[in-house]
Amino acid sequence: MVWSPHRPWWERYQPVSYKLISRSGSEQEFADMVERCNKVGVRIFVDAVINHMTGDSGIGVGIADSTFNTYEQSYPAVPYSIHDFNSKEKCGTQSGNIENYNNVNEVRNCRLVSLLDLDQSKSWVKDRIRDYLNHLIRLGVAGFRVDASKHMWPDELKAIVESLNDLPETHFGAGQRAFVFTEVIDMGGEPITKYEYTGIGRVTEFLYGMKLGEVFRRWNNQKLEYLQFFGESWGMLPSGYAWTFVDNHDNQRKHGGGGDMVLTFWEPRVYKMANAFMLAWPYGYTKVMSSYYWYPREDTDVGPPADSYGNTNTVPINDDGSCGGNWACEHRWRQIRNMVAFRNLVHGTAVENWWGRGDQIAFSRGRKGFLAINNDYSQTMSGEFYTGLPEGFYCDCISGDMLGSGDNAYCTGQTLSVNSMGRTHINIRSDSENPMIAIHVDYKL
């Protein structure tokens, strides 16, 4: 546990053991959550910290009461001893830490911000990590985000992933493998690239959120209309390898890659636009961020809403479905939640009817969905647009929800009428709080 600063969020990134006990609860509570989620079709992916253990802070105790001693490099609860870590000789820097990101050996054999660096070439280490991940698989998790993957040798990480058990047949069917995402920050300019990790699973595409932030902020003469070919031609991974997000837990705090450009929940209007675009756009495997508010905003260490000891608070849900208790819960914002449904619905269809004028864009996804965004600061976006959709009345899933069913269905937001030519009239004011319209065939009234 880290007490100075007081129980920061990043404490979790310093494992002491592989026990499933955290400030969020016990193993039993975790297993129960996974089970309940699987039953309703929600998959759980675990953020696996397997590159390192704690920082070199001396002697201490973890949240599950396991001890550690970094002078001796000892973590008895796993157990790991000095033989399981990369030595200073193997690393080669004076401090034992990564000092130069242009030196591949350093990045992978030295300590990331002083975190004791496990040596995954050792079979003992590989096996302990394998057992830990298999334990999680047995509990029903669907896959892993592999933290700090850039700091592990790709072939060693691949061997660990390949050694994992299949997912349990009861929940996933026969022969299914864990879904793996590797965290590799590659914005260009360093020798280690994201392409080295595509053989393992999906790879973080940090350029995606950075570029999207640049475009929606209209920095460097960017305009929404340039998004027509947003994807690989912008220097990003082929779509099938990319794991995309508007922001993540690091860069929303200006840590990690792209921190100055990315959009976050602190700027909700434009954040909703960027997420709507991401979710409607057929590139990459998308991730929606879910956060908590922290104060003061400049203090990037502040941990989650918690009791005075640091145990994470339960998330209260308000009557309108949003979260209370300082949880931001972006995933519950109607504009974002409804666009997730949009994405699932239009999966497999192509972008059609692209229309772009400066900071106004519109496009459809096959004959299933249509999105229009007005990011112009003064011009209303108005006119007749091809939606690609069958004739009928549609409920705009940005301004409202479609409730009820059959003849009793009604829209709590704006209703749009699509004519027999597939055209609709739209009018989006530039000063609207939600300057977008999204309709799809599941919201046909």
* Residues engaged in binding ligand AAO (CB under 6 A): 10, 13-14, 49, 55, 57, 101, 112-115, 147-148, 150, 183, 185, 187, 190, 250, 255-258
Distance, CA of 330 to CA of 232 (rounded, Å): 27
Beta bridge partners of 371: 363, 438
Q: Which is nearer to ligand AAO, 70 or 364 (CB)?
A: 70
Q: Residue 205 is inside which H or E element, if any?
A: none
Contact 134, 178 (CB under 8 A): no
Checking DSSP bridges between strand 392-395 and strand 415-418, what pairing results, if any? antiparallel
**Number of CB atoms found within 10 A of residue 403's CB:** 11
DSSP state of 23: T
Q: How large is the angle between the packed helices 268-280 and 334-346, nearest 10 degrees? A: 10
Catalytically annotated residue among 11, 117, 119, 147? 147
Residue 190 known to be catalytic: no
Smallest distance, Å, CB 57 to ligand AAO?
A: 6
Q: Which is nearer to ligand AAO, 10 or 234 (CB)?
A: 10
**Which tokens belong to 354?**
């692209």
Smallest distance, Å, CB 374 to ligand AAO?
A: 30
| 104 φ/ψ angles, rounded to the nearest 5 degrees | -60, -40
**Number of CB atoms found within 10 A of residue 81's CB:** 13
Contact 54, 80 (CB under 8 A): no
Residue 147 known to be catalytic: yes
Q: Which is nearer to ligand AAO, 300 or 322 (CB)?
A: 300
**Which tokens belong to 300?**
């990037």
Beta bridge partners of 403: 410
Q: Residue 361 is inside which H or E element, if any?
A: strand 360-365
| 206 φ/ψ angles, rounded to the nearest 5 degrees | -70, -20
Q: Which is nearer to ligand AAO, 74 or 364 (CB)?
A: 74
> Residue 208: left (phi > 0), alpha (psi -120 to 50), or beta?
alpha
List all residues 6 or more positions away from 65 whose beta carbon is below 8 Å from its beta carbon. none
DSSP state of 394: E
Distance, CA of 176 to CA of 249 (rounded, Å): 29
CA-CA-CA-CA dihedral for 357, 425, 330, 269, to nearest 10: 50
Q: Among all residues, whose Cβ is closest to ligand AAO?
A: 55
Catalytically annotated residue among 11, 84, 106, 183? 183
Smallest distance, Å, CB 290 to ligand AAO?
A: 15
Beta bridge partners of 215: none
Smallest distance, Å, CB 417 to ligand AAO?
A: 46
Distance, CA of 443 to CA of 445 (rounded, Å): 6
| Active site (catalytic) residues | 147, 183
